[in-house]
């Protein structure tokens, strides 16, 4: 099945990496066909499996099956033989990545063929089948499999929680980091600097058991309120110094590390990171992944002394701060 993922455009590299990680997490064999304005793979997967992945993506808009691609003339020849399924109605939408393309023209032209050849009526409010056109170096005619519910992340923004912090990650970014860790339902995810629980909330939402550690007791109390507020019950929280914390091996570690010039219970920030990465290696199962947010490139090498660096995704926060979201593997 040729699958087109429509990235949200919020980041240059994380959307495609998030898709890869989710495909990997569920053991789906795939081959990348194209990575650019869209991300297209040839995947050996059922539609149900692809829908499941679409249900947990954060930095995409839609997930689609490519049913035809090529020039307009090629599309017109192919589309007559396409089986869109048993639906009686369809809606057609489009997105272009080329200035010289006319989406309105293509929707009328291709929609007209579908209406005539497939004997289906146009219904833009509640169609049986949603068709998306993507115009890049070629035209892609797609049947929508899943639509990413981005509103749910807005509803979980820090200001809507019982307990919040001004430095919390946006829920979409937190979920993307969780997805990069390849965690699956029932797996154990640890955030050793959990703060108010933004990462734990998103991991809990996909059915992971979550474990959070924070040195401040009031923060742990607030984190517990947040998890309970969102109905997350499978969790453990510890009011401890992460560098002295012990636990049985976990399936994933995801954390946005402390940053700034302030000390952490007497440890300078360099020393903290050194000890933290040493502990992450102890906590993490062999072959499993850690996704760590870092405030400076120099700490990437600190992590590489203990874990194998897989990916780095810089994200500019403001003029004086760039976060580096790094994916490490314990090999």
Q: How confident is the model at residue 80 (pLDDT cuts 50, 70, 90)?
A: confident
The rounded distance, in Å, linking the Cα atoms of 271 and 263 is 10
- Residue 78 to residue 241: CA distance in whole angstroms: 62
Read off the pLDDT band of 196 (50, 70, 90).
Answer: very high
pLDDT at 263: 46
Q: Give me the pLDDT at residue 264, please.
A: 58
Mean pLDDT of 246-259: 95
The residues near 246 (Cβ < 8 Å, ≥ 6 apart) are 282
Q: How far is CA 207 from CA 46, 50, 229, 231, 249, in A?
A: 21, 17, 16, 11, 18
DSSP letter (8 states) at residue 100? T
- Mean pLDDT across 238-258: 96
Looking at every residue in the chain, the average pLDDT score rounds to: 95
The C-alpha angle 200, 60, 179, rounded to 5 degrees, equals 30
Distance CA 208, CA 281 (A): 20
Strands, sheet with 235-239, edge to edge from the N-terminal-most edge strand = 235-239, 209-214, 188-191, 250-256, 284-294, 321-329, 308-318
**Please, are residues 223 and 200 in contact by the beta-carbon 8 Å criterion?**
yes
Nearest 5°: CA angle at 279, between 276 and 280? Answer: 85
Structure tokens at 318: 């403001």
Q: How confident is the model over 314-330, as pLDDT tens digits?
A: 999 887 789 999 999 99
What are the helix (H) ranges across 196-268? Answer: 198-205, 217-229
CA-based radius of gyration for the chain: 22
Cβ atoms of 7 and 15 within 8 Å: the answer is: yes
pLDDT digits (tens, 9 = 90+) for 200-229: 999 999 999 999 999 999 999 999 999 999
pLDDT, tens digit (0-9, with 9 covering 90-100), for 8-42: 999 999 999 999 999 999 999 999 998 889 999 99
Question: Which segments of 1-137 are extended strands (E)?
Answer: 2-7, 29-35, 39-44, 60-70, 89-96, 121-122, 129-135
Confidence category of residue 193, pLDDT binned at 50, 70, 90: very high
Which residue segments constitute the domains of the chain, with CATH numbers given? 2-147 (3.30.2130.30), 151-329 (3.40.50.150)
Which contiguous run of DSSP H or E holds residue 283?
Answer: helix 269-283
Asked if 30 contacts 37 with a C-beta cutoff of 8 angstroms, the reply is no
Residue 39 in contact with residue 4, Cβ under 8 Å? yes
Q: Is the pLDDT of residue 167 over 90?
A: no
The residue ranges of DSSP E strands in the chain, in sequence order, are: 2-7, 29-35, 39-44, 60-70, 89-96, 121-122, 129-135, 139-147, 188-191, 209-214, 235-239, 250-256, 284-294, 308-318, 321-329
124's tokens: 């833009």
Compute the distance between CA of residue 196 and CA of residue 223 in angstroms, rounded to an integer: 4
Q: What is the pLDDT of residue 266?
A: 59
pLDDT at residue 190 is higher than 50: yes
Task: Please tell me whether residue 229 adopts helix, strand or coil conformation.
Answer: helix
Alpha-carbon span 225 to 216, nearest angstrom: 15
- Interval 99-135: pLDDT, tens: 999 999 999 999 999 999 999 999 999 999 999 999 9
Whether the predicted pLDDT of 262 surpasses 50: no
Q: What does each C-alpha distance from 235 to 77, 100, 173, 231 come to in angstroms?
A: 55, 52, 21, 11
The phi and psi torsions of 214 (rounded to 5 degrees) equal -150, 145
What secondary structure letter does DSSP report for 168? P
Residue 91 predicted with pLDDT over 60: yes
pLDDT > 70: percent of the chain: 98
């Amino acid at each position: 099945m040729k699958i087109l993922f429509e990235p949200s455009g919020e980041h240059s590299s994380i959307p495609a990496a998030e898709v890869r990680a989710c495909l990997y997490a569920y053991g789906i064999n795939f081959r990348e066909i194209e990575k650019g304005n869209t991300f297209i793979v040839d995947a050996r997967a059922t539609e149900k499996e692809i829908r499941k992945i679409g249900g947990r993506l954060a930095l995409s808009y839609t997930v689609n099956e490519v049913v035809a691609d090529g020039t307009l003339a090629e599309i017109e020849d192919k589309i007559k033989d396409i089986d869109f399924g048993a639906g009686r109605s369809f809606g057609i939408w489009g997105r272009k990545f080329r200035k010289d393309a006319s989406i309105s023209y293509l929707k009328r032209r291709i929609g007209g063929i579908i209406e005539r050849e497939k004997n289906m009526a146009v219904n833009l409010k509640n169609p049986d089948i949603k068709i998306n056109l993507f115009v890049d170096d070629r035209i892609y005619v797609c049947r929508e499999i899943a639509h990413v519910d981005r509103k749910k992340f807005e509803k979980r923004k820090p200001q809507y929680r019982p307990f919040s912090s001004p430095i919390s990650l946006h829920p979409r970014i937190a979920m993307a980091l969780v997805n990069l860790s390849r965690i699956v339902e029932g797996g154990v995810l640890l955030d050793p600097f959990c703060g108010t629980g933004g990462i734990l909330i998103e991991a809990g939402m996909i059915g992971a058991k979550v474990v959070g550690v924070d040195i401040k007791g009031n923060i742990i109390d607030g984190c517990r309120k947040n998890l309970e507020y969102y109905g997350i019950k499978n969790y453990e929280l510890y009011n401890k110094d992460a560098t002295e914390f012990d636990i049985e091996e976990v399936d994933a570690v995801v954390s946005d590390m402390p940053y700034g010039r302030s000390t952490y219970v007497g440890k300078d920030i360099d020393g903290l990171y050194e000890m933290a990465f040493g502990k992450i290696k102890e906590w993490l199962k062999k072959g499993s992944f850690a996704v760590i947010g870092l405030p400076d490139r120099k700490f990437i090498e600190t992590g590489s002394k203990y874990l194998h660096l897989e990916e780095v995704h810089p994200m500019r926060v403001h003029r004086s701060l760039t976060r580096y979201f790094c994916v490490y593997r314990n090999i």
